[in-house]
Amino acid sequence: MAGTPGIGPSLPAPLKAGVTRVRSAWWLVRSRGRLDSSGLRVLFYHRVSDDDDPLAVSTRKFRQQMEVLAAEGFRAVGLAEAVDLLESERPAPPTIALNFDDGFRDVGENALPILELLGFRATVFVPTGVVEGTSSFAWYPDDQPPVMNWEEIVELDRAGTLRFEAHTVTHPSLLLLDDEESRWEITQSKIDLEARLERPVEAFCYPAGLFGEREHQFVAEAGYRLAVSCEPGVNGRDTDRLALRRRQIDPRDRTIDFWAKLGGGHDTPLPLRGFYRRVRYGEQPSKLPSRPLRTSPGS
């Protein structure tokens, strides 16, 4: 795996899977499998494909996970819709927000039919320069899986199951850029995407969840209503809308792990993650009070 700071997968997958399994089992003991349905949880994926890729959840697993949601009576929606529901006073069935990072074509090919079948919706965060072909993901040095092109994105966005939102232009680690570059990545991606989709773009995803006070401010100034980190946890009515929490579903997750992530068993970061990310990404501890900004990799 390429070691470009701020992007791509990181923790060795077998280690991460082992720790995840232990936490899931502990959650199962504590909760007896009861799902905590307070607030809003956001689950995110990258690819849905049978490729051997640490960012690819197999189509079979993805289908099983979506069937778990449906069987439990969950409504799965995109991010903006989920936050609207969180803010509304109306009683609603349990809701989960789903999103896919980076706009890989296999999401349209493999995940979309399953979502459609179950009446689910999801948000897809796309880096506009990668869609354009002028940038690429640094962690795929010579075998980058195809991303959706503009024609597909516009068509799918209008169809309504998938809703496309911004994820910078070139997918950098924003923390490594100077002020102008960071602002440009955040603002220009909104402008580019709005021109293509012919509608307001409301949500932003910090690449790899890496951001600081500066990016938070640029995102607000650009006019985004929502932004997602990779900080795990549940979102309540008082959660900062520009630092929404979410949990990644990993290829090695078993049903118990999915269940535990859905139900609140993985609402805190993995042990040592802050240390690991400081070493790997040179992240600085947050300057924003009471709001953890260190987030998990691979988004």
Residues at the interface with Zn ion (CB under 5 A): 101-102, 207, 299
Q: Least distance in Å: CB of 136 to Zn ion?
A: 12
- The CA distance from 6 to 175, in Å, is 8
158 neighbors 118 (Cβ within 8 angstroms): no
The tokens describing 149, both together, are 């092109």
Q: Least distance in Å: CB of 167 to Zn ion?
A: 6
Q: Least distance in Å: CB of 133 to Zn ion?
A: 17
Q: Least distance in Å: CB of 242 to Zn ion?
A: 17
Q: Least distance in Å: CB of 206 to Zn ion?
A: 9
Give the residue with the Cβ less far from Zn ion, 173 or 187.
173
C-alpha count within 13 angstroms, C-beta hemisphere, residue 285: 3
- The CA distance from 54 to 250, in Å, is 8
- CB-count exposure of residue 274 (10 Å: 0-12, 13-18, 19+): middle
Give the residue with the Cβ less far from Zn ion, 129 or 207.
207
Q: For 211, which DSSP code?
A: -
Cα–Cα nearest to 269, from 286, 245, 289:
245
Give the residue with the Cβ less far from Zn ion, 27 or 139.
139
Which residue has its beta carbon closest to Zn ion?
101
* Helix (H/G/I), strand (E/B), else coil: 289: coil
The tokens describing 203, both together, are 């949500």
Q: Least distance in Å: CB of 178 to Zn ion?
A: 21
Give the residue with the Cβ less far from Zn ion, 86 or 227.
227
Give the residue with the Cβ less far from Zn ion, 8 or 265.
8
41 neighbors 94 (Cβ within 8 angstroms): no
Give the residue with the Cβ less far from Zn ion, 206 or 258.
206
